[in-house]
Amino acid sequence: MTIRTVGVIGCGLMGSGIAEVCARAGYTTLVRELNDELLARGRARIEKSLSGAVDRGKVSASDRDAALERLRGTTKLEDFDACDLVIEAATENPEIKRRTFTELDGVCPPHAILASNTSSIPIIQMATATQRPDKVLGMHFMNPVPVMRLIEYVRTLTTSDETLEAARVFGESLGKRIIVSKDRAGFIVNFLLIPYLTEAIRMLEQGFASREDIDVGMMLGTSYPMGPFTLLDFVGLDTTLFIADVLFDEFKDPRFAAPTLLRQMVAAGYLGRKTGRGFYDYQSGEQPPSVR
Ligand code: CAA
């Protein structure tokens, strides 16, 4: 099957990045948000990112304009009736996701593939909310979507070979490398990343080393582009806590237990860059260590 029109549910950080890369790769792209204000905010984010790509010489000005031409916003799910593929990037709430998949199943053409960008919720929960469980898979993009070269695909017990193959062709057409995971919490990347990040928090909690030294250690010692605290602030402490809790619920393994400090920082609203304060206090001008 050929994918021409892509629907994206949600135009927040991940949804806007996904919509941007789809429109850039030549797909007619329709993004759905809950209201016009959120749509306008999402579109502004995409325009800013595309202009940044032009400034960096990654995209020509005419390609940016063509991508924006291919991009349309809506507040109505019914407008997805001509989509060949829908990628859901809404809030990480299993009930909302199941409801959205049931609605999409009723609206989208029978051949359409339905994907979720969830970072940890089992995809089978969404597949079984539809009458097409063979056409449902996980497509977990990495943040920032336009820059990161990976998409992690999640195959459930019911995902068909045809669906996976069509999705693979699509993902590669975005210029991304595809890896495939079975449908279990954390998939591949977060199963490894989350214990690493929470272990760094435990080191800090125990007074083992400073946040700066831990960050510099991982950047210069292992060539990670960001140290764990810089990455935690970038990903969001609330997102990290949510994924850690999902992993702990599924595996009951202390490796995944969220550190008290993480839980308390989330309760305090120190969520990272998005609130101006996380492990570093950006509001008061603090910056993570640079090793350039
Ligand atoms: N479109 C295309 N390319 C762009 C772009 C855009 N909108 N914006 C930037 N770029 C390119 C730049 O041109 C540059 O390319 P070159 O290397 O070819 O020069 C590259 O992206 C890096 O850009 P910058 O120089 O501006 O930024 P940087 O070097 O400081 O890197 C970063 C920024 C890419 C975010 C880097 O710090 C990084 O990789 N950090 C780690 C990010 C990470 O781990 N993400 C995964 C988080 S986990 C996740 O997402 C899963 C989950 O479920 C929690």
Report whether pLDDT(283) > 90.
yes
The response to whether residue 49 sits with its C-beta less than 6 Å from ligand 1 reads: yes
Nearest to 46 by CA among 144, 153, 177, 172: 144
Say what the pLDDT of residue 224 is.
Answer: 97
Give the H/E segment covering residue 114.
strand 113-116
Token pair of 240 as six digits: 């990290």
Question: What pTM was estimated for this model as a whole?
Answer: 0.95
Nearest to 245 by CA among 187, 290, 185: 185
Report whether pLDDT(194) > 90.
yes
Say what the pLDDT of residue 35 is.
Answer: 96
Report whether pLDDT(75) > 90.
yes
The response to whether residue 235 sits with its C-beta less than 6 Å from ligand 1 reads: yes
Report whether pLDDT(1) > 90.
no
**Model confidence at 92, in pLDDT bands (50, 70, 90)?**
confident
Which amino acid residue places its CA nearest to atom 53 of ligand 1?
Answer: 119
Cα(104)–Cα(203) distance, integer angstroms: 44
Mean pLDDT of 250-271: 97
Mutate which of 20, 54, 56 for ligand 1? The one with the most ligand atoms within 8 Å of its CB, which is: 56
**Ligand 1 centroid to 148 CA: how many Å?**
6
Beta strands at 85-88 and 71-74: parallel, antiparallel or unpaired = unpaired
Angle formed by the axes of helices 237-251 and 189-205, nearest 10°: 110
**146 CA closest ligand 1 atom index:** 1
**Ligand 1 centroid to 144 CA: how many Å?**
6
Q: Where are the alpha helices (DSSP H) in the chain?
A: 13-24, 36-55, 61-69, 94-107, 124-127, 161-173, 189-205, 211-222, 228-235, 237-251, 260-268
Mean pLDDT of 13-35: 97
Say what the pLDDT of residue 120 is.
Answer: 82
The response to whether residue 125 sits with its C-beta less than 6 Å from ligand 1 reads: no
**Ligand 1 centroid to 107 CA: how many Å?**
35
Say what the pLDDT of residue 77 is.
Answer: 95
Q: What residues are labeled active site? A: 119, 140, 152, 190
As a whole number, the mean pLDDT across the chain is: 96
The response to whether residue 54 sits with its C-beta less than 6 Å from ligand 1 reads: no
Note whether 155 and 181 are within 8 A (CB).
yes
**Ligand 1 centroid to 143 CA: how many Å?**
8
Token pair of 189 as six digits: 């990347």
Report whether pLDDT(168) > 90.
yes
**Model confidence at 2, in pLDDT bands (50, 70, 90)?**
confident
Report whether pLDDT(292) > 90.
no
Mean pLDDT of 95-113: 97
Mean pLDDT of 152-172: 98
Mutate which of 147, 197, 215 for ligand 1? The one with the most ligand atoms within 8 Å of its CB, which is: 147
Report whether pLDDT(25) > 90.
yes
Q: How confident is the model over 205-255, as pLDDT tens digits? A: 999 999 999 999 999 999 999 999 999 999 999 999 999 999 999 999 999
